[in-house]
Structure 1
Amino acid sequence: MTNSAISQLSCMDTTTISDALDKLGIAGQCLGIGPLDPACRLAGPAFTVRYMPCGVHGGTVGDYIDDLPEGTVIVLDNQQRLDATVWGDILTTVASRKRLGGTVIDGVCRDAPRAIDVKYPVFSRGSYMRTGKDRVAVDAVQCSVSIGGVRIDPGDLLVGDRDGVVAIPKARIEQVAEVAQYIDEAENHIRDAVERGERLDEVRKRQRYHSLQTRETS
C-alpha cells in the first residue's frame, strides 16, 4: 500500500470509487450514512469503536480520542440506533483541534451546529439530542465493525462526500485506486467529447461506459 494510492483515492468522488468497488466485487458502500454538512469531505484510515446497550449497570460513550494521530477517521458502530447518540460537541471540539480526518457513525450524533461551525466532517444517520450515556457503552475498540451494512476493519480507508461514505479494505487500496483512476479518466473523456458536440451514444461506446463498473470475471 502506497501513500500515493491513498492520496489519490482521498481526492476522488465517492461515485467513482463506488464504481471501482463494484468492478472488483467489493461491498464498500455504506448505506444510509451521509454528511451533516454537504460541503464537507472525509478521508483517512479507520479507528473503530463498537457499542452495545449497557443495561442496568450504566455506561459511557468512551474515552478513546486523546491518543489518536492526525488524519484518523473515527468509525463508531452504534448498531443503527437512532434514539441515543455517541458523538457530541466536546468530542467534535477535541477532534477538530487534533485535526482528525472525520467521524462516521452507524447511528446519530448530537450538537450538529458545532460540527458545522468548525467544519469538522461528521457522517451519520442524522442528529438527535438524546445522550448515549447510561444507554450504550463501548464494547470494543480496534475491532471489526458494521457501518451501513459494510464490514470495516481498523486501518481500512474511508472516503466521504455529499453522496455518502465508501470503505476500501486496506489490503486492496492500490487495486481500487488503479481501477478508479481508469474509470475517472474514461468518464472525463466522455465529458470532454460531448462538450465538443460529439454524440453521447458513440462516445460511451468508444469508452465502454456501460461496462466500466461491471464486475470482472476470471
Structure 2
Amino acid sequence: MTTTTGTPAADRDTCTESLHERLSRLDTAALSDAMDSLRTPPCVLPGIRSRTAGSVACGPAFTVRYRAIDDTTTFHNAANYIDDVPAGSVIVVDNGGSRTCTNWGSLLSAVALHRHIAGTVVHGSVRDVKESRTAGYPLFSTDVTMVSGKNRVALDRTGVEVDISGTPVAPGDWIFADDNGALRIPADLVEEVVRRAEAVERTEGRIREAALGGSRLDEARARFGYARPWEDEKGGDDHGSD
C-alpha cells in the first residue's frame, strides 16, 4: 500500500477524493468479500440498519462517544460537536447501543447536510427519521425512538476509538454503510480493500453476464474464478495474503 508520509496536503486530498469516488461505486457485499480475502479482524458494525433507504455513507470516521448521566438538577445538552466535523467524514456515534434515548435528530441531519458530512452511524437510537429520510441524509442506527438524549446522556469524548458491539472503530478508519448494513475498513488497508472489491464486482459481473447469456451457473462460476473473485487479470494477483 502506498504511504502518504511526506506527500503534500493537496496531493493527499486528491488521493482521498479518488478513493472516495471508487468506494462510492461499490457496496458492502463486495467490500466484505474483499476483507474476507485479507483475513482481517471483524469489520461489520453489528445491528446497524439504514434509516434512509437507498442511501450510502462513505468516508473517514469521525468518532463520538457518549456517557449516561444521572444529574437532573442542571440542563445537559446532548452535545455540540457537529461544527468540528470535517466535510466528507462519516460520524460514528457510540452510545452503547442504547434504546432508551436518541443521539441524533433532524436538526443534526440538516446541519450535517449543510456541512457536506457524508453520513452518520449511531450505535444507539435516532429520531426524526421521516425528516432525515425526506432530506436524503444517509442515517444508520441500532434503533429508533422519540425520547431526547438531553439530560440523559452527555458527550464523553470525540476523536477516540469506539467499540460498536465488539468491532473497534478508530478515527480515520473508513466507514461504508448501505442498505445491507455498515462496516469499517482499517485506514491502513483501505486502498487494497477497494482494489479487491472492484475485482470482486468485475468477477461477479462476468459470471452474471455468462449465466444470463445461457451458460450454466456452476460452469460460469468455475470459468471466472468464483472461489477467489478478488483475483482477475485486471486486478492482479492476491499478493500471497492467503
Give the TM-score of the pair, scaled to structure 1. Answer: 0.92
1:115 counterpart (125, 129, 132): 132
Alignment of 1:183-202 (within 5 A): 183-202=200-219
State the AA in 2 paired with 1:200: L
State the AA in 1 paired with 2:27: D
2:183 partner SS: strand
Aligned residue for 1:156? 173
C-alpha separation in 1, matches of 2:120 and 2:186: 18
Aligned residue for 2:112? 95
| 8 Å Cα contact 1:10/1:44 also seen in 2 | no
Aligned residue for 2:6? none
1:68 counterpart (85, 95, 98): 85
Residues 93 and 6 of structure 1, relative CA distance in 2, 3 Å threshold? closer
Question: Sequence identity of aligned pairs in percent?
Answer: 36
| 8 Å Cα contact 2:43/2:184 also seen in 1 | yes
The runs of 5 or more residues in structure 2 that have no matched partner are 3-14, 231-237
| 8 Å Cα contact 1:84/1:130 also seen in 2 | yes
Aligned residue for 2:58? 43
| 8 Å Cα contact 1:45/1:155 also seen in 2 | yes
| 8 Å Cα contact 2:38/2:241 also seen in 1 | no
C-alpha separation in 2, matches of 1:206 and 1:187: 11
Q: Per-residue deviation at 1:184?
A: 1.2
C-alpha separation in 2, matches of 1:107 and 1:169: 22
Larger Rg, first or second structure (1 or 2): 2
Moved over 4 A (4+): 215-218
Aligned residue for 1:175? 192
Aligned length: 217
2:123 counterpart (86, 96, 106): 106
Q: Per-residue deviation at 1:148?
A: 4.2
